[in-house]
């Protein structure tokens, strides 16, 4: 009765063909969808993030040395720090941090900050300097950042 002769039925071949066609169509759709879209209109090439940042600084800040005082709120009250930053083409070429804390805990943390901040600032575009925690100090960077914002205001071209 149902002797297997090794031949596939026409229905099986039809299903295989349909499945192959669906797979090919899906693959072509994925390929087309993932290709970058090209607009042949006359638009300038986009600038790289690096060139935009550098251009902004070159056009935004005057070279020079600027001094500012930053403030932040510690658990013991308001504290201050001093910052002297030298800029060239929007890049911090030198920076001096002056601790001005009056409370013992803040004196300790500002001292810790003073030992580890410089390599995170010097050589960087002033707009890219972002300090969170430095050498265990988490609040002093807020005062430093406040002072840098004031330096930016002074240096605006």
Q: What is the pLDDT of residue 31?
A: 60
Whether pTM exceeds 0.75: no
Q: Using one digit for the tens of pLDDT, what is the confidence trace for 26-47?
A: 766 656 655 554 444 444 445 4
Q: How far is CA 51 from the centre of its chain?
A: 14
Question: In this structure, are residues 69 and 100 in contact, taking their beta carbons and an 8 Å threshold?
Answer: yes
The whole-number pLDDT of residue 103 equals 95
Please check whether residue 110 is in contact with residue 118, taking contact to mean a CB–CB distance below 8 angstroms. Answer: no
What's the pLDDT at 62?
A: 96
CA angle at residue 24 from 20 to 27, to 5 degrees? 140
May I ask the CATH architecture of the domain 49-155?
A: Alpha-Beta Complex (3.90)
Distance CA 140, CA 73 (A): 9
């Amino acid at each position: 009765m149902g002797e297997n002769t090794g031949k596939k039925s026409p229905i099986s071949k039809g299903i295989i063909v349909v499945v192959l066609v669906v797979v090919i169509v899906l693959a072509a759709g994925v390929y087309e969808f993932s290709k970058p879209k090209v607009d042949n209109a006359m638009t300038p090439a986009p600038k790289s993030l690096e060139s935009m940042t550098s251009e902004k600084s070159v056009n935004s800040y005057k070279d020079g040395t600027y001094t500012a005082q930053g403030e932040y709120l510690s658990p013991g009250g308001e504290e201050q720090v001093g910052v002297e930053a030298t800029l060239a083409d929007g890049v911090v070429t030198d920076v001096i941090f002056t601790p001005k804390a009056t409370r013992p805990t803040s004196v300790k943390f500002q001292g810790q900050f003073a030992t580890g901040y410089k390599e995170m600032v010097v050589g960087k575009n002033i707009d890219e300097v972002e300090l969170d925690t430095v050498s265990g100090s988490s609040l002093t960077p807020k005062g430093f950042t406040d002072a840098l914002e004031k330096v930016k205001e002074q240096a605006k071209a």
